[in-house]
Structure 1
Amino acid sequence: MRITLKQRKLKSGKISLIIEYSKGTEISSTGKRKYIREFENLKLFLHGNPSNAKERKENKDNLQLAENILAIRQSEVLRGKYGFKNKNKGQRCFLDFFHEKTEEKYESSRNYGNWAASLLHLQKCISPNLTFDEVDDYFLKQVKEYFDNKALTKSKLPLSLNSKYAYHNKFRAALRLAFEEGYLTINYAQKVKGFKQAESQREYLTFNEVQNLAKTFCKYDVLKRAFLFSCLTGLRWSDISTMVWSEVRDEDDVFRIVYRQEKTDTMLNTYIYQSKLEIF
């Protein structure tokens, strides 16, 4: 749940100070997403256009008082003592919520792969019936223990440190979203420590090695050409598989690629000389 201080201008010219409780969203019966908000009128006001020192002082004092009340409300929510939690939300299954957030990533094409992989692992260590009301410190320890010592790759090998880091971070992100949307009264994402990210060791091919690969037979020609294209551009497979021709621009004797990378969400500008494309 997010709690913020808002100002609402009145017809009289004064400004009313209110606290807004943003408790996430829900899907209506018509299938539309609806924002859930509640408001608390502090009965404190500001002069819209203070004309003297007295009015300016009143504005300062009332604004300070409102900010103090806001800090108290935020503290009460963090301690789980404020009575605004939707009881129905506490009965929602954690994995259903995580699946929903994963599908949202698919629609936006951002980080979907890591969310989907994390979901597959969580389904192995979390009961499908576990609700948000059952989330506690022990639950956090069990999940982290799974990623650290029990989770395996498709090849039945232990997860690398970077995979632990990526998948567990998605779990923590879901906890944070659940807190912001009113499913949890405690931000457990701040309580559980993530894995450290390892420095990756990258291997590189020489141009001669790439040329030799270009001459080597491959049963799947499209896979071979995609790999060679990746060597020339530095693009990941996830980026190459979604590229369209409008992102490749012919500029005299070179081709310029203008592309937004999925993993880092950053723009890429790279050039390929036509002479290098001969290996295709």
Structure 2
Amino acid sequence: MNIINQTIITEIILLGFRDFPDLNTTILFFLPLLLIVTVSGNIMIIWLVASTSSLQSPMYFFLTQLSISDLLVTTTIVPNTLYIIYNEGGTMSFPSCIIQFYFLAWSEASECFLLSIMAYDRYMAICNPLRYSSLINQMLCIKLAIIIWLLGFSLQLIVIISIIQLQFCSSNVIDHFFCDLSPLLELSCSDTNIIEVEILILCVPFTFTPLLSIVVFYVYIVQVALAISTTNGRSKVFSTCSSHLIVVSIFYGSLTGIYMLPAKKKSMVVNKIASLLYTVLTPMLNPIIYSLRNRDIKEALKKISCL
């Protein structure tokens, strides 16, 4: 391809849901409500953990990190999505598009690691209760959180550096409501095979390895739970882990639907709706799941509401 005679892309046109006016109206009505619930719910989790002495434990510390990740996803995607849907399309500068994708990918990669660490915390609390307090302390939690955010930052920076080295000189129209990886690569007139292999390799440390570790931790947890003689003891163990398992299932289920299923089997509208699931619905559900199914958080809410 003769790149010299092509026009270099300086801005991106996002179509949103322009071809689906009924769906466009529905999303435009519900999305602000979802945004308010998501931001309020995650800020509430962070505030409760910070201000309640009974929630000063590693599990709730990592829950606040999960809320920060969800807030990062929501604020990166939803406000601009509202603008695009309201105007039946919108434009972004090319650097802004790259930055949007970077912050989304960074938060998603960090969430993979966070969910794995939360599973490890439950494994230690249930399978090694006598050593839990001495091994899982506040300083370790802070170090792990820093490592998680830096690791997600670094891994996605590798991808971004590879993307900006590509030539973008074809169409500048993306049939989506945000700048995602596949639509960006489709705009490139360079050979993207190398970067696609690179991304596939990077999926191992920041997607499959955390998921595998979660499965391993819960295998041990189930073994310990089944060895408990009383029904009340077993139910207590499963109740402790149920919220985390629900969040893991929703998070990885939506990622699988977007990035691992063959593109030929998905229509564009299905792809967009699935993207709404993990960029809008999942960040909203996480604080709801933890607050509705967690006794400590419900008690903290009751105490504050009585003040």
Higher RCO, Cα 8 Å, sep 6+:
2
Q: Same fold (TM over 0.5)?
A: no
Q: Which of the pair is proportionally richer in strand?
A: 1
- TM-score, scaled relative to structure 2: 0.24
Hey, which of these two has a bigger chunk of helix by percent? 2
Larger Rg: 1
